Structure 1
Amino acid sequence: MSGGLVACAALLGGVAGLAALRVARRWTGRPASIRPGPAVGAVASVATGQPGRPADRGGPPAPARAAGISPSTGFGAVAGAVVGAVVFAGLAAALGGDPVLPAFLGLAAVGLVLAVVDLACLRLPDPLVGAAALVVAVGLTGAALLTGAPERLLGAVAGAALCFAAHALLALLPGSRLGFGDVKLAAVLGLPLGWLGWSPLALGLLLPHLLNGVVVLALLAAGRVCRDTPLPLGPALLAGAWLATLTP
Structure 2
Amino acid sequence: MSAGLVTGVALLGALAGRAAGPLARVFTDSPPPAVRSPGPVVPVSDPDLAAAAFDSGRPADDLGTGRGAGAAALAGTLVFGALAATRGGDPALPAFLAVAAVGLALALADLACLRLPDPLVAAAAAAATLGLVPVALAGTPERLLTALAGAAVSFVGYLLLALLPGARLGFGDVKLAAALGLPLGWLGWPTLGLGLLLPHLLNGVVVVALLAAGQVRRDTPLPFGPAILAGAWLAVLLV
Contact 1:29–1:63 at 8 Å: present in 2 too? no
The answer to whether the aligner puts 1:217 opposite 2:208 as a matched pair is: yes
Aligned residues: 224
Query: What displacement does 1:50 show?
Result: 7.3
Question: Cα offset for 1:159?
Answer: 0.6
Give % identity.
65
Q: What residue is the counterpart of 2:83 in the other structure?
A: 91
Deviation at residue 247 of structure 1 after TM alignment: 0.7
CA shift, 1:51, in A, is 2.2
Find the counterpart in structure 2 of residue 19 from structure 1: 19
In structure 2, the partner of 1:77 is 69
Q: 1:144 aligns with which of 105, 111, 136?
A: 136
Deviates most, 63-72 or 75-84: 63-72
Distance, in Å, in 2 between the alignment partners of 1:13 and 1:85 is 5
In 1, Cα distance between equivalents of 2:69 and 2:115: 21
Q: Is the 8 A contact 1:159 1:190 kept in 2?
A: yes
- After superposition, what is the alpha-carbon deviation per residue over 1:30-89, rounded to whole angstroms, capped at 9, x for unaligned? 9xxxxxxxxxxxxx99xxx97258xxxxxxxx8574333253932112101100000001
Counterpart CA distance in 2 for 1:109 and 1:167 is 23
Unaligned ranges ≥5, structure 1: 31-43, 54-61
In structure 1, what is the Cα distance between the partners aligned to 2:98 and 2:81? 13
| Offset at residue 28 of structure 1 (A) | 2.9
Q: Distance in 2 between matches of 1:50 and 1:184?
A: 26
Higher helix share: 2
Q: Which runs of 5+ in 2 are unaligned?
A: none
- Tell whether 2:9 aligns with 1:3: no
Aligned pairs (5 A) from 1:185-200 = 185-200=176-191
Write the letter of the residue equivalent to 2:99: L
Task: State the match for 1:38 in structure 2.
Answer: none
Q: TM-score, normalised by structure 2?
A: 0.88
SS in 1 for 2:141: coil
Residue 226 of structure 2 corresponds to 235
For residue 197 of structure 2, what is the amino acid of its counterpart?
A: L
What is the match of residue 97 of structure 2?
105
TM-score in terms of structure 1 length:
0.85
SS at match of 2:216: coil
2:162·2:171 contact (CA, 8 Å) conserved in 1? Answer: yes
Deviations 1:183-242 (A, max 9, x none): 000001110000001111111010000000000000000111111111100000000000
Superposed CA offset, 1:101-125 (max 9, x none): 0100000000000000000000001
